[in-house]
Structure 1
Amino acid sequence: MRLRGTGSGHATDLVLLGVALVWGSSYLVAKDLTVVAPVVVVLTLRYVISAVALAVVRGGTRAPRPGRRELGVGVLLGVTQAAVLTLETFGVSGTTATNAGLIISLTVIMTPLLDGVWSRRPLPPPFFVATVVGVVGVGLLVSGGGFRVPAWGDGLMLAAAAVRALHVSLIGRLTAGRPYGSLTLTTVQAVVGAVLLSVIAAPQLARTVTVLPLAAWAQLAYLALACTVFAFLAQTWAIRRTSPSRASLLMGTEPVWAVAVGVALGGEHLTVAVAVGATLILAATSYGQRVERTHRLAHVLPPAPAREPARL
Structure 2
Amino acid sequence: MTTLTSRTASPGNRPLWLIDVPVVLVAVVWGSSYLAAKELATGTTVIALLLLRFVVATPVMAVVAGRGITRLSGREVAAGAVLGILLSGVLVLETFGVVHTSATNAGLLISLTMIFTPLAEGVATRTRPTGAFIGAAALSVTGVALLTQGSGFTAPSSGDLLMLLAAVARTVHVMAMSRMKAVRSTDSGALTVVQFATAVLVFALASPFAAVSPVDAAAAYSPQQWAALLHLALMCTLFAFFVQMWAVRRTSPSRVSLLLGTEPLWAAVIGVAVGGDRPGPLGAIGAALVLIGTTWGRQAMAPPAAAEDRPAAASQPTGAV
TM-score over 0.5 for the pair? yes
Structure 2 SS opposite 1:144: coil
Residue of structure 2 in register with 1:56 after alignment? 63
Secondary structure class of the residue paired with 1:74: helix
After superposition, the C-alpha distances for 1:39-80 in whole angstroms (9 at most, x for unaligned) are: 211111111111122112223x76652122322221111111
Find the aligned partners of 1:96 and 1:29 in 2 and give their Cα distance: 12
CA distance in 1, matches of 2:43, 2:286: 32
Picking from 219, 224, 227, the partner of 1:215 is 224
Partners of 1:147 and 1:287 lie apart in 2 by 26
Q: Quickly say closer, same or farther: Cα 1:227–1:160, change in 2 above 3 A.
A: same
**Partner residue of 1:166?**
172
Corresponding residue of 2:41: 34
Correspondence for 2:31: 24
Deviations 1:102-140 (A, max 9, x none): 754543332112111222323212112112223434555
Within 5 A, what are the aligned runs for 1:156-235? Answer: 156-174=162-180, 178-202=184-208, 204-231=213-240
Separation in 1, partners of 2:242, 2:177: 12
Q: Unaligned stretches of 5+ in structure 2?
A: 11-15, 316-321
SS in 2 for 1:109: helix
Q: Is the 8 A contact 1:103 1:154 kept in 2?
A: yes
In 2: Cα distance, 1:14 partner to 1:140 partner: 32
Aligned match of 2:74: 68
Change (3 A) 1:166 1:239: farther
1:258 and 2:267 matched: yes
The answer to whether the 8 A contact 1:141-1:277 is kept is yes
**1:17–1:176 distance in 2 versus 1, CA, 3 Å:** farther
2:102, 2:271 within 8 Å by CA — same for their partners in 1?
no
Normalising by structure 2, what TM-score? 0.72
Structure 1 residue 35: Cα displacement:
5.5
C-alpha distance in 2 between matches for 1:74 and 1:16: 25
Report the AA paired with residue 265 of structure 1.
Answer: V
The 1-side partners of 2:39 and 2:177 are apart by 31
**How far apart, CA to CA, are the structure 1 residues paired with 2:35 and 2:131?**
36
Displacement of 1:205:
2.0
AA matched with 1:220:
L
Task: Specify the code of the residue in structure 2 equivalent to 1:297.
Answer: P
Q: Deviations over 1:173-230 (max 9, x none)?
A: 2369932111111111111111110221246122222332222211111001122223
Q: 1:84, CA displacement in angstroms? A: 0.5
For 1:256, the aligned partner's letter is L
Unaligned runs of 5+ in 1: 305-309
